[in-house]
Amino acid sequence: MSGATSEQAVPIGTASRLSGVKVPTIRYYEEIGLLRPPARSEGNRRHYAGAELRRLAFIRHARELGFEIEAIRTLLALQDDPGQPCEAADAIARARLTEVEARIRSLMALRQELEQMVASGRHGVVGECRVIEVLADHGQCAHPHHHPPAVPGRAATAGPPRPKGRRPG
Amino acid sequence: MSGATSEQAVPIGTASRLSGVKVPTIRYYEEIGLLRPPARSEGNRRHYAGAELRRLAFIRHARELGFEIEAIRTLLALQDDPGQPCEAADAIARARLTEVEARIRSLMALRQELEQMVASGRHGVVGECRVIEVLADHGQCAHPHHHPPAVPGRAATAGPPRPKGRRPG
DNA sequence: CTTGCTCCTCCAGTCGCTGGAGGAATTAGC
DNA sequence: GCTAATTCCTCCAGCGACTGGAGGAGCAAG
Ligand SMILES: [Zn+2]
Ligand SMILES: [Zn+2]
Ligand SMILES: [Zn+2]
Ligand SMILES: [Zn+2]
């Protein structure tokens, strides 16, 4: 038996090396239904061939660009159905771009604050340390990297919007 | 009794509004030992006065600048001991600055890729969508936002370094 | 005295993995 | 053929930094 007709199928370790996705992560993607369960060998080992390897590379690439798992799920579903209009895919990418832009702006403000903390030459004792000083008093910050934390007397209606989960890259 | 000698102590909800830190988060900070357990009222409610409120504002500010909990723990310990040299505090801030700079560079590369995906005018059908196309093939990316995912033939020795946990702001 | 708010504790869930335990199967070398 | 090393399997707990719900107690106003 076993005529080796298809593109050669590789075990999970090789798929991991080829894609740059760790072995447990590949299994995790299968578990959450992002990757279809691949064929198994006699000894119950997963074997990945062309299509699945391409899917895995797609996922990896999308993750590197910071797309969430749910977004990738949608993108993969779209990819499987090439006749559909691609509005949804474009919207996902545009939304990600908007997020990235916002994040960059935010980080640039942070960078400036941090630079001013560390760049002010002389430090020596904690009691006179600019780092500690600024952290203790946001008033010393040049830019409002956040809306001020409701100084005594008034109360903000809502907490600051904080993103969930981590983002690669 | 109760001559109201100290700065007026407030319950947790007010502390939350004053600091911008959510109530469960304040309790969480206490649980992990970042905030000292405050005095309690007769009815077992937490009451926060000046020192603790200042500590809370410090934590909030540091979190907004993206310092990790462990770093904040160190910074708070330093703050409590103003005679010590502030090298440790400065090092923490410089390390954070370096991280932020790296992150900005990385996000700017991502931004460029995403811009090229979405900006190429005409999309219509998934089969011809540039978003899907680029995701399926990193070779179409202008810049190597990562070292290439080991194209068939060679294997990378280590997976890509990915940061853990989330970062605000 | 009832209504409605705040507070309490405990605990499970979020996101996207990561890694260990304990065992089976395959491969390499002799 | 036999052993040793490696790879694979499943299951499950843990990470960081919260977030929020359940179920109940306290407390101030109408
Ligand atoms: Zn200093
Ligand atoms: Zn600030
Ligand atoms: Zn498109
Ligand atoms: Zn790419």
Say if residue A35's pLDDT is above 70: yes
- Residue B154 resides in a domain: no
- Residue B120 resides in a domain: yes
Look at B18 and A97 and tell me if their CB atoms are within 8 Å.
no
Q: What is the pLDDT of residues A127-161, one digit of tens each?
A: 999 999 999 999 988 777 765 444 432 223 233 33
User: How much of chain B, in percent, has pLDDT values that exceed 70?
Assistant: 80
B107 vs A1, residue with greater confidence = B107
The ligand whose atoms approach the alpha carbon of A109 most closely is 2
The pLDDT assigned to A142 comes to 79
The pLDDT assigned to A131 comes to 95
The pLDDT assigned to A123 comes to 77
Residues in chain A with CB shorter than 8 Å from the CB of B106 are 169
CA distance linking residue B21 with residue A156, whole number of Å: 11
A39-40 β-sheet, strand order: A10-11, A46-48, A39-40
Give the CATH number, domain containing residue B37: 1.10.1660.10
Residue A49 shares a structural domain with residue A70: yes
Which chain B residue has the Cα nearest residue A52?
B136
Q: CA–CA distance from B29 to each of A22, B32, B44, B115 (Å)?
A: 33, 5, 18, 40
CA distance linking residue A131 with residue A117, whole number of Å: 5
Cβ–Cβ < 8 Å for B143, B113: yes
Q: What is the rounded average pLDDT of the residues A13-42? A: 96
Residue B134 shares a structural domain with residue B99: yes
CA distance linking residue A56 with residue A47, whole number of Å: 13
Enumerate the nucleotides of strand D whose atoms come under 7 Å of any protein CB: 7-11, 15-21, 25-27
Say if residue A168's pLDDT is above 90: no
A51 vs B154, residue with greater confidence = A51
Q: How far is B23 from chain A (nearest CA, A)?
A: 10
Can you give the distance from the CA of residue B44 to the C1' of nucleotide C9 in angstroms?
A: 11
- Residue that is last in its domain, among B46, B80, B114: B80
From B71, B66, B104, select the one nearest A103 (Cα to Cα). B104
Q: How far is A77 from chain B (nearest CA, A)?
A: 10
CA distance linking residue A57 with residue A53, whole number of Å: 6
From A125, A21, A133, select the one nearest B62 (Cα to Cα). A133
Say if residue A91's pLDDT is above 80: yes
The pLDDT assigned to B147 comes to 55
For residue A42, give its domain range: 10-80
Cβ–Cβ < 8 Å for A58, B135: yes
A103 vs A159, residue with greater confidence = A103
The pLDDT assigned to B7 comes to 67
Residue B14 shares a structural domain with residue B72: yes
Ordered alpha helix ranges (H), chain B: 12-19, 23-31, 50-64, 69-79, 87-119, 130-136
Residue A75 shares a structural domain with residue A100: no
Which of A25, A26, A75, A110 best probes binding to B when mutated, by most B CB atoms within 10 angstroms? A110
Residues in chain A with CB shorter than 8 Å from the CB of B145 are 64-65, 169
The pLDDT assigned to B143 comes to 75
Give me the residues near strand D, CB below 7 A: A 11-14, 16, 23-24, 27, 40, 44-46, 159, 162, 164-166; B 22, 24-25, 28, 41-45, 63, 68-70, 164-166, 168
The pLDDT assigned to B81 comes to 94
Residue A24 shares a structural domain with residue A54: yes
A148 vs B66, residue with greater confidence = B66
Residue A32 shares a structural domain with residue A92: no
Q: How far is A148 from chain B (nearest CA, A)?
A: 9
Highest mean pLDDT among A2-11, A122-131, B139-148: A122-131
Task: Write b or e for each residue in B115-152: b if 16 or more Cβ atoms lie within 10 A of its Cβ, otherwise e.
Answer: bebbeeeebeebeebbbbbbbbebeebeeebbeebeee
CA distance linking residue A61 with residue A80, whole number of Å: 17
Find the nucleotide nearest A67 (Cα to C1′).
Answer: C16
CA distance linking residue A69 with residue B9, whole number of Å: 45
Q: What is the pLDDT of residues B110-148, one digit of tens each?
A: 999 999 999 876 778 999 999 999 999 999 887 777 654
From B34, B5, B7, B8, select the one nearest B21 (Cα to Cα). B34
Residue A75 shares a structural domain with residue A106: no
Q: What is the pLDDT of residues B18-27, one digit of tens each?
A: 999 999 999 9
A149 vs B13, residue with greater confidence = B13
Residue A76 shares a structural domain with residue A26: yes
- Residue B1 resides in a domain: no
Q: Provide the number of structural domains found in chain B.
A: 2
Q: What is the rounded average pLDDT of the residues B42-59? A: 96
Identify the three-state secondary structure at position B157: coil
Mean pLDDT (chain A) is 84
Residue B52 shares a structural domain with residue B91: no
Query: In terms of residues, how long is chain A?
Result: 169
